[in-house]
Structure 1
Amino acid sequence: MSTPSTVAVERADARNRYEISVDGELAGFTEYRDHEQQRVFYHTEIDEAFAGRGLASHLVQEALTDVRAAGKRVVPICPYVAKFLLKHEEFADITDPVTPEVKGWLRTRLY
């Protein structure tokens, strides 16, 4: 019988991402940049050692819940976040479409 793991999600503002940890060890993250009232998600990654546990879904759910609480909107450039949103209509009211303008703006922030 295995010991239950402690899973925690925290917003790491200095790194522009939400991080998920398992028993205190960083397991993954979803990265964003803020553009006015939008939080633009562009990359999600879970370490291979933690794959298959549903951590990405848990991470994105917590991140989007935090976005809602902050009064912001979501732009899902990240393919995983976009896929998550298709299955979780409860976030449709805070989701904005990915536009060429937002993609162009993001490029200027990342490179």
Structure 2
Amino acid sequence: MSQPSAAPTVERNEVKHRYEILVDGKRAGLTAYRDRGEQRVFFHTEVDEAFAGQGLASRLVQEALTDVREAGKRIVPVCPYVAKFLNKHEEFADITDPVTPEVLRWLDTELG
């Protein structure tokens, strides 16, 4: 019999500006951000196809946004997945800022 897999874990990788979700120590997905003052601007989320349909993206974003709250920062959901998640999870509404043209211009400059 094979060993049951460990529960997925989420880690913040500050060097690469992203949160990663790990399954059995292997990166299964990520949500990428850039910090703009007190705002954490999320711009991309992905889960590897091999791990699709397991609810990992939702868990990843939930834990990332919880970390943002604990850090005293605010969320800017440029990423469509993060925006959709926030529409269903009103508990983060108090720390969510709108996506503005100014934020989008800034992000373009940040990402080159």
TM-score of Structure 1 vs Structure 2, range by shorter chain: over 0.9
Q: Offset at 1:76?
A: 0.1
Q: Which residue does 1:41 correspond to in 2?
A: 42
Q: Deviations over 1:63-103 (max 9, x none)?
A: 00000000000000000000000000000000000000000
Q: Offset at 1:18?
A: 0.1
SS in 2 for 1:96: coil
Equivalent-residue separation in structure 1 for 2:91 and 2:61 (angstroms): 13
Q: Deviations over 1:16-61 (max 9, x none)?
A: 0000000111100000000000000000000000000000000000
SS in 2 for 1:59: helix
SS in 2 for 1:20: strand
Equivalent-residue separation in structure 2 for 1:58 and 1:23 (angstroms): 15
Equivalent-residue separation in structure 2 for 1:71 and 1:78 (angstroms): 20
Q: Which residue does 2:106 correspond to in 1?
A: 105
Q: Offset at 1:6?
A: 2.3
Q: Which runs of 5+ in 2 are unaligned?
A: none
Equivalent-residue separation in structure 2 for 1:103 and 1:91 (angstroms): 21
Q: Which runs of 5+ in 1 are unaligned?
A: none
Q: How many residues of Structure 1 are paired with residues of Structure 2 in the alignment? A: 111
Give % identity.
Answer: 71
Q: Offset at 1:5?
A: 3.4
Equivalent-residue separation in structure 2 for 1:75 and 1:6 (angstroms): 28
Equivalent-residue separation in structure 1 for 2:10 and 2:99 (angstroms): 25
1:1-111 equivalences in 2 (<5 Å): 3-111=4-112
Equivalent-residue separation in structure 1 for 2:26 and 2:33 (angstroms): 21
State the TM-score, normalizing by the size of structure 2. Answer: 0.96
State the TM-score, normalizing by the size of structure 1. Answer: 0.97
SS in 1 for 2:15: helix
Over the residues paired in the alignment, what is the CA RMSD in angstroms?
A: 1.2
Equivalent-residue separation in structure 2 for 1:102 and 1:65 (angstroms): 22
Equivalent-residue separation in structure 2 for 1:44 and 1:5 (angstroms): 22
